[in-house]
């Protein structure tokens, strides 16, 4: 249903986890894929190999610290020159759990910069050209925490709520770009719940410690509080939805946040 041959996708935070799964889904549809992240060369080479094996005719890695605005701008110039960018997936994210009382300003600034401000900069630098071509897809990987809150996650929740709100604004501003035939320009969020990634591992291990280090019991304990399905999602499931959002049939689906959360936000 989705043929991305001739299209170029940039996926931030894509050397592992959800970002890599999304990149591989887009690659399987024929897209050229620009990977991004902060990683060692071995991990970069492995991610590039996986994306090419998935079907990408070309794949390239871009290295930019998303806390550094000039670095983000340089990455976008280089990616547009290699591209141009037709699909933008803002996936990069960091998190630290701590109470408001315990949080320091450096942690707040870093989480807001990576999880929210970086998406603003990539969007402002790519959406105008998408509109000119009549086709563009922005998929922002938000979180259930862009819809509901949890304790000890103030900067993360603030960033994800901000990402959802900013995506709605961008969706409205670009709603008339393109056509059904060209595909239009859409901006949407995906809101994963508990997903098997390294981001949640510290929380899993903290719960597992209650059960003598039993990870399965730690996961069950973690999910029992929030996710009614009692099942984690796999990164590939997020990738499948991201790919569908890029399809022509999704030209009128814009400004939404779609949770993949086992019923978490239905409660």
Catalytic residues: 156
DSSP 265: G
Q: How many CB atoms lie within 10 A of CB 46?
A: 15
For 170, how many CA atoms within 13 A lie in the half-sphere containing its CB?
29
> Residue 174: exposed, middle, or buried by beta-carbon count in 10 A (0-12, 13-18, 19+)?
buried
Torsion of CA 20, 25, 28, 31, to 10 degrees: -80
Dist. CA 99–CA 142, nearest whole Å: 21
Q: How many CB atoms lie within 10 A of CB 247?
A: 16
Helix (H) or strand (E) holding 90: strand 87-90
Residue pair 229/200 in contact by the 8 Å Cβ criterion? no
CA distances from 14 to 151, 155, 173, 200 (A): 28, 22, 27, 16
- Secondary structure class of 50 (helix, strand, coil): helix
* Residue 107 structure tokens: 């942690």
Radius of gyration from C-alpha coordinates of the chain: 18
């Amino acid at each position: 249903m989705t043929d991305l041959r001739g299209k170029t996708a940039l996926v931030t935070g894509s050397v592992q986890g959800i970002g890599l799964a999304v990149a591989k889904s887009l690659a399987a549809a024929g897209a050229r894929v620009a990977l991004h992240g902060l990683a060692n060369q071995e991990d970069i080479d492995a991610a590039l190999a996986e994306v090419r094996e998935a079907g990408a005719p070309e794949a390239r890695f871009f290295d930019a610290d998303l806390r550094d605005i000039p670095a983000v701008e340089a990455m976008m110039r280089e990616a547009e020159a290699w591209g141009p960018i037709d699909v933008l997936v803002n996936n990069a994210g960091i998190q630290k759990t701590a109470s408001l009382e315990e949080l320091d300003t450096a942690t707040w600034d870093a989480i807001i910069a990576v999880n929210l401000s970086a998406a603003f900069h990539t969007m402002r630098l790519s959406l105008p050209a998408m509109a000119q071509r009549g086709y563009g897809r922005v998929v922002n990987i938000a979180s259930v925490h862009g819809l509901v809150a949890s304790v000890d996650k103030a900067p993360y929740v603030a960033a994800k709520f901000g990402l959802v709100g900013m995506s709605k604004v961008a969706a409205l501003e670009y709603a008339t770009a393109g056509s059904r035939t060209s595909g239009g320009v859409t901006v949407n969020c995906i809101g994963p719940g508990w997903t098997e990634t390294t981001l949640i591992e510290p929380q899993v291990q903290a719960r597992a410690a209650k059960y003598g280090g039993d990870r399965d019991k730690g996961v069950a304990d973690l999910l029992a509080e929030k996710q009614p399905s009692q099942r984690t999602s796999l990164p590939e499931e997020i990738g499948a939805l991201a790919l569908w959002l890029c399809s022509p049939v999704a030209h009128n689906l814009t400004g939404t946040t779609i949770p993949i959360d086992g019923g978490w936000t239905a409660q």
